[in-house]
């Protein structure tokens, strides 16, 4: 291929570079087209335009997630290859290339949310908040949640780009012998005036952008697949929708109901109860949502990659085969190696997800026990569904290394049930007052111990010390008591305010 372009043999150094970068198997016609574009650009603008060409590879944002690319990939998953014509849909924003939510389904969602809100009022002491019912399609959910997804996993894309840059630098160092300059035979192939260092830098930049573009596409595919599985707006346990939104996805609910052989109206009501409870929790506990998202960000920020694996994969990936790129991206070369900081963040996230879903379980159980014939069965079906995880969660776990399943959901639900049984419903909900009061991972190991500690009275010594700190006059009384609790006997003060006879007066008398 190289000989057809240059008219001469392939220098060993160039052969090694092409092989290491996976370019030795590319179609000569594709290379010829690229060379033609390169030559015309050089004629029109020189090295600056060459930088634009390489700098814009994959249309991605340098070092981060390209939200447009991710959204395009997600749309392709949601709409399918045979449905490209946009149609006006239900929900915020522009038209959708999927079946819209009709008025009947939208009204059914609104009514379910209205009834669910009344039931949840009776099942929790958390006050209601202003929220509106929304019936979304999978594409609505994708478009509305994608900005937050890209923000959360942005550090992963940045880490991947940095790892790709380091791996490519290592390959180029081998080519140049560590001197930082191309061999003379390669420099002679460049157009006159072209800076070899600039070319090498542009190649590295192109690889970084390509990795970011590939990651963005994979993220979009994962979110698009997830959108076809979620039942409600915050189904995955993260605060992905605004607090004033209670979102249900009618098509997914219809499919779930048919598989369970339960009336769709009852399934819709049950899921509305869960979503109302979940959104109310996020709205009325202002620290909870940010803490959950911070755990995701902390995990992503400390991401690490296996550079040796990346270098090995760079030799084998066929850049013309999107399937090969996707396989490499989801393979071991991009599997993060957990660090201690990541392990701590993951523990916080898993605990938070379990507590959220455990509390929602208990509230939904109380809200539907006397109203829905299949409430208990639906609760068990949802728990099994979350425990098994779907294809989208597996893709997301392979891509980012995060598992969104609340592994300890049953432990958390048992803790909240025990709290309510021992201390009442108000105490059960009071655990959300402050993050220092909320159960930790260790409390899920011993729910009854947490319940006992939560209701244990403070010691008398602690109460006395607290009173002393809060009431400065308590010091005066204490000092008086320590000195005998009465007047100074040597001063002549009898405590009445009058000065009595002194010792000298008594001697004189």
What are 178-216's pLDDT values in tens digits?
555 666 656 666 666 666 566 666 666 666 677 777 778
Residue 462 has pLDDT above 70, yes or no: no
Residue 356 banded pLDDT, cuts 50, 70, 90: very high
% of the chain surpassing 90 pLDDT: 38
| Closest to 139 (Cα-Cα) out of 267, 227, 265 | 227
pLDDT score for 55:
37
Cα distances from 326 to residues 125, 248, 306, 392, in angstroms, run: 48, 32, 17, 15
CB atoms under 10 Å from CB of 485, counted, come to 8
Q: DSSP letter at 101?
A: P
Residue 31 banded pLDDT, cuts 50, 70, 90: very low
Q: 3-class DSSP state for residue 377?
A: helix
What tokens were used for 243? Answer: 């607090």
Q: Which residue has the tokens 């998953």?
A: 77
CB atoms under 10 Å from CB of 282, counted, come to 20
417 compared with 334, residue with greater pLDDT: 417
Distance CA 255, CA 277 (A): 23
What tokens were used for 440? Answer: 């930790």
Distance CA 392, CA 226 (A): 5
| pTM of the shown model | 0.71
Residue 244 has pLDDT above 90, yes or no: yes
What tokens were used for 331? Answer: 């393979």
Residue 96 has pLDDT above 80, yes or no: no
CA 141 to chain centre: 15
Beta-bridge partner residues of 493: 499
Residues in contact with 380: Cβ distance below 8 Å, sequence separation at least 6, in sequence order: none
* pLDDT per position as a tens digit, 416-449: 999 999 999 999 999 999 999 999 999 999 999 9
What tokens were used for 230? Answer: 């979620």
pLDDT score for 342:
83
Residue 375 has pLDDT above 90, yes or no: yes
Residue 97 has pLDDT above 50, yes or no: no
Residue 506 banded pLDDT, cuts 50, 70, 90: very low
221 compared with 331, residue with greater pLDDT: 221
Cβ pair 285, 268 in contact under 8 A:
no
Mean pLDDT of the chain: 74
Residue 269 has pLDDT above 90, yes or no: yes
């Amino acid at each position: 291929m190289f000989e057809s372009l240059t008219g001469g043999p392939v220098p060993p150094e160039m052969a090694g570079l092409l092989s290491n970068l996976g370019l030795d198997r590319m179609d000569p016609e594709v290379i010829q087209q690229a060379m033609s574009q390169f030559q015309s650009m050089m004629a029109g603008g020189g090295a600056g335009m060459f930088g634009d060409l390489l700098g814009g590879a994959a249309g991605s944002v340098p070092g981060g997630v390209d939200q447009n690319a991710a959204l395009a990939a997600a749309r392709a998953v949601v709409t399918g290859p045979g449905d490209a014509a946009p149609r006006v849909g239900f929900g915020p924003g522009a038209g959708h290339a999927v079946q819209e939510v009709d008025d009947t389904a939208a009204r059914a969602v609104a009514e379910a949310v209205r009834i669910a809100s009344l039931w949840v009022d009776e099942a929790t002491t958390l006050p209601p908040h202003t929220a509106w019912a929304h019936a979304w399609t999978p594409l609505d959910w994708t478009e509305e949640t994608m900005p937050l997804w890209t923000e959360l996993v942005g550090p992963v894309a940045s880490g991947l780009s940095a790892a790709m840059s380091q791996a490519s630098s290592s390959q180029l160092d081998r080519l140049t012998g560590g001197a930082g300059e191309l061999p003379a035979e390669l420099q002679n192939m460049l157009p006159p005036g072209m800076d070899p260092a600039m070319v090498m830098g542009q190649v590295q930049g192109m690889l970084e952008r390509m990795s970011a573009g590939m990651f963005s596409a994979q993220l979009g595919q994962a979110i698009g697949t997830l959108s076809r599985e979620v039942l409600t707006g915050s189904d995955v346990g993260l605060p992905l929708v605004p607090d004033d939104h209670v979102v249900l996805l009618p098509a997914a609910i219809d499919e779930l109901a048919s598989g369970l052989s339960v009336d769709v109206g009852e399934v819709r009501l049950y899921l509305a109860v869960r979503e109302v409870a979940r959104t109310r929790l996020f709205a009325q506990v202002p620290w909870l949502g940010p803490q959950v998202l911070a755990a995701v960000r902390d995990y992503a920020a400390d991401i690490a990659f296996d550079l040796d694996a990346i270098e090995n994969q760079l030799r084998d990936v066929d850049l013309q085969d999107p399937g090969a790129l996707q396989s490499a991206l989801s393979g071991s070369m991009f599997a993060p190696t957990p660090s201690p900081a990541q392990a701590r963040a993951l523990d916080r996230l898993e605990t938070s997800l379990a507590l959220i879903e455990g509390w929602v379980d208990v509230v939904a159980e109380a809200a539907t026990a006397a109203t829905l014939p299949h409430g208990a069965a639906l609760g068990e079906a949802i728990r099994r569904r979350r425990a098994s995880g779907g294809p989208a969660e597996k893709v997301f776990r392979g891509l980012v290394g995060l598992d969104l399943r609340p592994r300890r959901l049953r432990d958390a639900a048992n803790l909240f049930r025990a709290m309510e049984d021992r201390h009442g419903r108000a105490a059960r909900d009071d655990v959300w007052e402050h993050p220092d009061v909320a159960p930790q991972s260790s409390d899920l190991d011993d729910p009854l111990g947490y319940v006992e500690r939560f209701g244990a009275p403070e010691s008398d010594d602690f109460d006395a010390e607290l009173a002393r700190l809060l009431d400065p006059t308590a010091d005066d009384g204490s000092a008086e008591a320590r000195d005998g609790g009465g007047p100074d006997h040597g001063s002549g003060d009898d405590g009445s305010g009058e000065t009595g006879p002194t010792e000298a007066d008594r001697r004189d008398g």
